[in-house]
Structure 1
Amino acid sequence: MTSLLPLKSGTDPSADRDLDPELLGLTEEQADEILAAISSMTARRILDVLYDEPRPTSEIATALDSSVQNVSYHLERLEDADLVEVVDTWYSAQGREMDVYGPTNGGLVLYAGAETTTPSLKRALGRTVGGIGILGAVSVIVHLQWARSGPFAPARRVAPIGAQPADPTLQESIVQFLTGPGGVLLGAWLVLIAVVAVRWYWHRYRPAREHA
């Protein structure tokens, strides 16, 4: 007789689990517990399986061709090290509850030395300044081409009859650049660089420094 109880719950245990990678220095206290938990190849294979898809103990054992008792032992150690957790509950054909395990993070990264593993703010600023210099040069070239382009050329100041037309002052040249296509192009690039820099700082540099 077929059981009316579902084998799996109606929700995907992987859904809504947007996990961040875990950065852990080798000298941190938690490193000893984690290294002890993953010292066995079986434990590492369990983690690999669970990163692919959350599963109950019996399915993990089947995937690894191991016993349920052996998998349960390593799952307990991984859970104590805060590497896996119960993310859902399924039911067997006999109606028995089965805990579904999944990783507690999006990836485990063990590192030695913060300077080699965290993004360099000084290097990023250097690249940004260099990029702005290149973009500025390109913008000036665009402006000069526009300034020489026939009917779109900026008008010179009116000079007395017979006199040579006066060249624009420095202030007028700056205004012409800022209001021309070169200035608009440079402004758009600067805004884009600022947005990318802010996203890099909040999503890469700041989290990495907090874990360092």
Structure 2
Amino acid sequence: MGRLFSRDSDATVERSETPQVVCLDDDHANEILGALQSETAQSAFRALNREPMAAAELAAELEVSVQTAGYHIENLLDANLIEQHETVYSEKGREMAVYGPATEPTMLFFGTSDDQRALESAFREYASVLGVGAVVLAIRGVLSPLEPLFDWL
């Protein structure tokens, strides 16, 4: 989709190679699941991961009001799933925040915090040998029987 606003944006996102691991028994897991509970929220999250954009641009892409886009942006910000990457100006000179994926990716782990250290250790070990992409593909392969649960990813 083309830009609705004339702006010079060089928002690039450099992601950390080590994700934050959030276990299901962590309070942060509730924030994440709550922020992604609706189809609109999931669409907003996917759109902002594809391309950083301002709330008005997100609203136009999702065909929702700016208020609705702003509501989902706030929830995603509170869950640390996205962050503000820069501030730009519209053609009318209005200041606009540009949002995109969080620098530190989040891995929601369907286990308890007792298992967290072992998972983080295994992730670091495999990531250093195979690279993060291979580890993500391996995890996705293991979880593929659960894929209907992850359609929103």
Q: TM-score of the superposition, structure 2-length normalised?
A: 0.66
Alignment of 1:81-92 (within 5 A): 81-92=79-90
User: For the structure 1 residues 198 and 52, does the alpha-carbon distance in structure 2 shift closer, same or farther, using more than 3 Å as the test?
Assistant: closer
Tell me: higher relative CO, structure 1 or 2? Use CA pairs within 8 A at least 6 residues apart. Answer: 2
Question: What residue in structure 2 maps to residue 35 of structure 1?
Answer: 33
CA RMSD of aligned residues (A): 3.3
Unaligned runs of at least 5 residues, structure 2: 136-153
C-alpha distance after superposition, 1:133-188 (max 9, x if no partner): xxxxxxxxxxxxxxxxxxxxxxxxxxxxxxxxxxxxxxxxxxxxxxxxxxxxxxxx
Q: Distance in 1 between matches of 2:119 and 2:54?
A: 35
User: For the structure 1 residues 95 and 75, does the alpha-carbon distance in structure 2 shift closer, same or farther, using more than 3 Å as the test?
Assistant: same
Q: Distance in 1 between matches of 2:119 and 2:25?
A: 16
Q: Distance in 2 between matches of 1:199 and 1:9?
A: 36
User: For the structure 1 residues 19 and 9, does the alpha-carbon distance in structure 2 shift closer, same or farther, using more than 3 Å as the test?
Assistant: farther
C-alpha distance after superposition, 1:55-75 (max 9, x if no partner): 001111111111111000111
Q: Secondary structure at the match of 1:94?
A: coil
Question: What residue in structure 2 maps to residue 46 of structure 1?
Answer: 44
Runs of at least 4 residues off by over 4 Å = none
Alignment of 1:41-120 (within 5 A): 41-105=39-103, 107-113=105-111, 114=115, 118=119
Question: What residue in structure 2 maps to residue 200 of structure 1?
Answer: 129
Q: Distance in 2 between matches of 1:36 and 1:197?
A: 30
Relative to total residues, which structure has the larger strand share, 1 or 2?
Answer: 2
C-alpha distance after superposition, 1:86-144 (max 9, x if no partner): 101121111001100011146443222348x83886xxxxxxxxxxxxxxxxxxxxxxx
Larger radius of gyration: 1
Q: Distance in 2 between matches of 1:197 and 1:71?
A: 37
User: For the structure 1 residues 25 and 62, does the alpha-carbon distance in structure 2 shift closer, same or farther, using more than 3 Å as the test?
Assistant: same
User: For the structure 1 residues 61 and 105, does the alpha-carbon distance in structure 2 shift closer, same or farther, using more than 3 Å as the test?
Assistant: same
Question: What residue in structure 1 maps to residue 7 of structure 2?
Answer: 8
Q: Cα distance, 1:53 vs. partner?
A: 0.9
Q: How many residues align?
A: 122
